[in-house]
Structure 1
Amino acid sequence: MSETESAGTRPAARNDRAVRVVGIIVAVLGAVFLVAGIATYVVVSSTLADEKITVSDDAAHFAGKDVKGPFTAYAQADVIAQHAEEIGGGKTYSELPQDDPNRQTVMTASFLRASLFTSVVAFGVAAFVSVVGVLLILLGWALTRLARTA
């Protein structure tokens, strides 16, 4: 083996090690994302369950189910909107006159809907972070495999 051949393999080995290190870092970050996403999903679900909310019987979906997931939270928010619309005579909180006795009830319904929609968004973000975590783990694994075979 000539001097140039041995010098030429050294940078390749260094590059392989760098790719492996990056792969490991990416995989570890993926694991952190996956755990964080799952933990967030569990915390939001547990917090909703602690509120002991049940989807109204007149809901289009999930009637009578406990609100502890994104679909039940959305279903309950939807039925609250229907009830508020009936109570407000088709008007929103801001459209009702200040002296309307139903204004306070419609406002409370609006706040409840916003809270439920916030939990729906939190579930979505948690799921997204978990999926990104899985993708990062796979990318890290692929990079470490690529470095080994090179």
Structure 2
Amino acid sequence: MTAVAHEVGRTAAGSAVRSSRKAARGSGGAVRWIGILLALAGLVMIAAGATTWFTVQSQLADERITVSADAKWFAGEKIDGPLTAYAEADIIEKHALKASGGKTYAELDKEDPVRATVMNGSFLRASLFTSVVSFGIAAMVVGLGFVISLAGYALFLIGRRPATDPAPTA
């Protein structure tokens, strides 16, 4: 092989290595930006979930409701969380069924005077269960936000790694 041919081969190999490095840097930058965006999205989710949790908690507490004294759990405690809301919804059902002789709203005759009491009990239970579900969704959003933030941070770190140079060929 002549010296000129050898030099051309070496220049071409160097050019290939440089373009490979440039491509690796470009994809690392994209991975870094995706990581940053995911981390930020996760933080927004954490903030939104926490805001929802505390808003629902505040609204329930403002109603100044306490769990009935004959409830299985949390008797006499202020309703301001998912467990106390669930406990009160459970005891409301027992009270409504007792008042109706074991019949649900749909099973009572339209003229039955107890029907309005059972209907109010159903509405109260539905409202309390809605807050229980809201707490659950808020907690899930916070958890997912945390996981997404961690994944974004991991991608950011991966994108910061320097690209490894391919082994030179002879």
* Distance in 2 between residues matched to 1:48 and 1:93, nearest whole Å: 25
Deviation (angstroms), 1:149: 2.1
Pair 1:34 & 2:46 matched? yes
Please give the root-mean-square deviation of Cα atoms over the aligned residues, in Å: 0.9
Deviation (angstroms), 1:3: 1.1
Out of 142, 148, 156, which is 1:144 matched to?
156
TM-score by length of 2: 0.87
Return the letter of the residue paired with 2:52: T
Out of 43, 62, 71, which is 1:50 matched to?
62
Identity rate, percent: 49
Measured against aligned partners, the alpha-carbon deviations of 1:41-77 in whole angstroms (never above 9, x if no partner) come to 0000000001111000000000000000000000000
* Distance in 2 between residues matched to 1:117 and 1:106, nearest whole Å: 16
* Distance in 2 between residues matched to 1:101 and 1:129, nearest whole Å: 43
Matches within 5 A, 1:43-122: 43-122=55-134
Larger CA Rg, structure 1 vs 2: 2
Which structure 2 residue ranges, 5 or more long, are not aligned?
1-12, 163-170
* Distance in 2 between residues matched to 1:4 and 1:142, nearest whole Å: 29
What is the count of residue pairs matched by the alignment?
A: 150
Runs of 4+ in 1 over 6 A off after TM superposition: none
Q: What's the secondary structure of 1:59's corresponding residue?
A: coil
* Distance in 1 between residues matched to 2:26 and 2:101, nearest whole Å: 72
TM-score by length of 1: 0.98
* Distance in 1 between residues matched to 2:14 and 2:29, nearest whole Å: 23
Which structure 1 residue ranges, 5 or more long, are not aligned?
none
* Distance in 1 between residues matched to 2:100 and 2:17, nearest whole Å: 83
Return the letter of the residue paired with 1:16: G
User: Residues 28 and 161 of structure 2 are in contact (CA less than 8 Å); yes or no, is this contact kept in structure 1?
Assistant: no
